[in-house]
Amino acid sequence: MMRQKDIKIFQNFYEKSTVSQRFKMCFFKGDEHFSSLENASLKDSYNYGILRDILIENDLDVYCDLLIDYQNNLFDYFETESVVYKLLDEIHGINIKENTYTRLLKFLYENIDSNWGIKINFTNLNGTKIDIRDKEVSNIIFDAFKSLYIRLEMNKRPFTFEQAKEYLEHPGNFQELVEAYDTYYSIGEDDSEYVDSENIPTEVIQYFMDNTLNECMINKEFLEVRSKELESSIEGIKPKSGRKIENIYQGELALDLSYLIRFQRFVLQDEFENIYDMPISVKDLELIYEYFEFWGFENLKIKTSAEKVSRKELKSGYMNVSAWIVKYKNSRGKKFEDIVPNLNEIEINKYRKIVRSEIE
| Confidence class for position 313, pLDDT limits 50, 70, 90 | very low
Helix (H, G, I), strand (E, B) or coil at 207: helix
Q: Are residues 355 and 246 in the same domain?
A: yes
| Confidence class for position 258, pLDDT limits 50, 70, 90 | very high
Q: Are residues 353 and 249 in the same domain?
A: yes
Q: What is the pLDDT of residues 148-196, one digit of tens each?
A: 999 988 899 888 899 999 998 888 888 888 888 777 666 555 556 667 7
Which residue pairs, CB below 8 angstroms and at least 24 apart, start in 242-249? 243/298, 244/78, 244/82, 244/298, 245/78, 245/81, 245/82, 245/85, 246/74, 246/75, 246/78, 246/297, 246/298, 247/297, 247/298, 247/299, 249/74
Amino acid of residue 53: D
**Residue 75 placed within a domain:** no
Domain boundaries, position 196: 156-214
pLDDT at 137 over 80: yes
| Residue 66 and residue 19 in contact, taking contact as beta carbons nearer than 8 Å | yes
Which residue pairs, CB below 8 angstroms and at least 24 apart, start in 90-95? 91/233, 91/237, 92/234, 92/237, 92/238, 92/239, 95/230, 95/233, 95/234, 95/237
Pick from 30, 131, 23, 7: nearest CA to 340: 30
Dist. CA 310–CA 289, nearest whole Å: 14
Q: What is the pLDDT of residues 195-241, one digit of tens each?
A: 777 888 888 888 888 888 889 999 989 999 998 888 887 776 655 54
Looking at the DSSP bridge assignments, the partners of residue 132 are: 120
Q: Are residues 302 and 353 in the same domain?
A: yes
pLDDT at 117 over 50: yes
Q: What is the pLDDT of residues 263-278, one digit of tens each?
A: 988 888 888 989 988 8
In this structure, what are the phi and psi dihedrals at residue 179, rounded to the nearest 5 degrees?
-65, -40
Q: Are residues 261 and 311 in the same domain?
A: yes
Pick from 63, 75, 86, 68: nearest CA to 33: 75
pLDDT at 246 over 50: no
Q: Are residues 191 and 274 in the same domain?
A: no
Q: Are residues 274 and 176 in the same domain?
A: no
**Residue 178 placed within a domain:** yes
pLDDT at 99 over 50: yes
Cα dist. 33→26, 70, 87, 164 in Å? Answer: 16, 10, 20, 38
| Confidence class for position 312, pLDDT limits 50, 70, 90 | very low
**Residue 305 placed within a domain:** yes
**Residue 134 placed within a domain:** no
Q: Are residues 203 and 272 in the same domain?
A: no
Dist. CA 312–CA 289, nearest whole Å: 14
| Percentage of the chain modeled with pLDDT above 90 | 12
Count of structural domains, the chain: 2
**Residue 81 placed within a domain:** no
| Confidence class for position 305, pLDDT limits 50, 70, 90 | very low
pLDDT at 4 over 50: yes
Q: Are residues 341 and 280 in the same domain?
A: yes
Cα dist. 229→102, 103, 149, 159, 222 in Å? Answer: 11, 12, 17, 15, 11
| Confidence class for position 314, pLDDT limits 50, 70, 90 | very low
Q: Are residues 199 and 265 in the same domain?
A: no
| Residue 316 and residue 282 in contact, taking contact as beta carbons nearer than 8 Å | no
Q: Mean pLDDT score of the chain, rounded to an integer?
A: 77
**Residue 225 placed within a domain:** no
Q: What is the pLDDT of residue 102?
A: 92
Higher local confidence (pLDDT), 98 or 17: 98
